[in-house]
Amino acid sequence: MKPFDYVRALGPGDATAAAGREGAAFIAGGTNLLDLMKLGVMTPSTLVDITHLHLDRVETTEDAGLRIGALVTNSDLANHAAVRRDYAVLSRALLAGASGQLRNKATTGGNLLQRTRCPYFYDTAMACNKRDPGSGCRAIGGVTRLHAILGASAHCIATHPSDMAVAMLALGAGVEVEGADGKRRVVALDDFYRLPGEWPDIETVLEPGDLITAVLLPPPPQGRQIYRKVRDRASYAFALASVAAVIRVDSGRIASAALAFGGIAPRPWRDGDAEAALIGEVPSREVFERAADILLADAQGQGGNEFKIDLTRRLLVSVLTEATEERT
């Protein structure tokens, strides 16, 4: 691991000021950052410890939504009574990710900002535009089982690995950010991530010194909530494809549908057109297939991940079938 200065922030002002230093990075749970630092993939010259900032509470907001502090651990969030009761898709997504040990340490803000698990990003002997901008992408034409079928570019085909963020995207979450000037703003999670384009190293709309302080959830949605994850092992593996669905059926027709996808794109993926194709329809396999057609119209395989196109289609149809079944 490259040497770094360790700075403990005791207030948000401290944190954003220290983060203004060249080469500074925030550290909270450290489960992803320390792993990457050991490998030399990330080499911050200053680590700003934000774990003493008291951003570890889950609170009900004035509009009956939820404010989740950036330092709330994945375990605490998954097990929070209100989340289990009202935002089951989020509990399910969190519980489908990582291991018990990692969930106890990993935080809400850190989960949003975790880096791809693309093996070419991890291997410093390989060209990677995300790790070393302009060096090329060895994943293209390589082993691509984990890689993107939607939203990739000629410069990067890596996927975003989070389960939590996929559920939050389906729930319409917002990200509260404190800037270096001390002002707080809220960015819709749907606007938070950038596609790789020419610059895969820039993954979010955050500016230098920006600190995530919370994630905001709107009031609990009506309808059924499902998180379904397909992976190479039954536990403790990243998604090949996952779906978070929040679906409401009213008088035999689909009244609302929020769908987000993990493991198939450089960011948690949402397709408003695929959702719109479901609204007002009587649930049927044909309707579900049409939504899948729209979702996957631009899907492109990269060799070893071609199977994900069919897999995502079947996953979506299966989840929609379950979500719209009449309950006995």
Partner 1 sequence: MQTRLHVNGTTHHLDIDPRTTLLDALRDHLRLTGSKKGCDHGQCGACTVLLNGRRINACLALACMHDHDEIITIEGLGGPDDLSPLQAAFVAHDGYQCGYCTPGQICSATAMLEEMADGWPSHVTDDLTGATKPDATEISERMSGNLCRCSAYPNIVDAILAVAAERTRA
Contacts to partner 1 by CB under 8 A? 1, 3-6, 27, 30-31, 34-35, 38, 47, 49, 51, 75, 78-79, 81, 84-85, 88, 91-92, 95-96, 98-102, 104-105, 234-236
As measured in angstroms, the least distance from the Cβ of 277 to partner 1 is: 30
**Per-residue three-class SS string for 83-125:** HHHHCHHHHHHHHCCCCHHHHHHCEHHHHHHCCCCCHHHHCCC
Comparing CA positions, the residue from 213, 228, 282, 245 lying closest to residue 13 is: 213
Question: Which of 38, 184 has the CB closer to partner 1?
Answer: 38
Minimum CB distance to partner 1, residue 103 (Å): 9
Minimum distance from CB of 106 to partner 1 (Å)? 9
DSSP states of 236-294: S---SEEEEEEEEEETTEEEEEEEEEESSSSS-EE-HHHHHTTTTPPP-HHHHHHHHHH
> Which of residues 104 and 318 has its CB atom nearest to partner 1 in the complex?
104
- In angstroms, give the least distance from the CB of 80 to partner 1: 11
Q: Are 182 and 13 in contact (CB under 8 A)?
A: yes
The CB-of-88 to partner 1 minimum distance in angstroms stands at 6
- Between residues 47 and 128, which has the closer beta carbon with respect to partner 1? 47
Q: Using CA atoms, how far apart are residues 167 and 94, in angstroms rounded to an integer?
A: 9
In the bound state with partner 1, the residue whose beta carbon lies nearer, of 3 and 62, is 3
Can you tell me which residue has the tokens 């995207």? 169
State which residue, 96 or 296, has the beta carbon closest to partner 1: 96
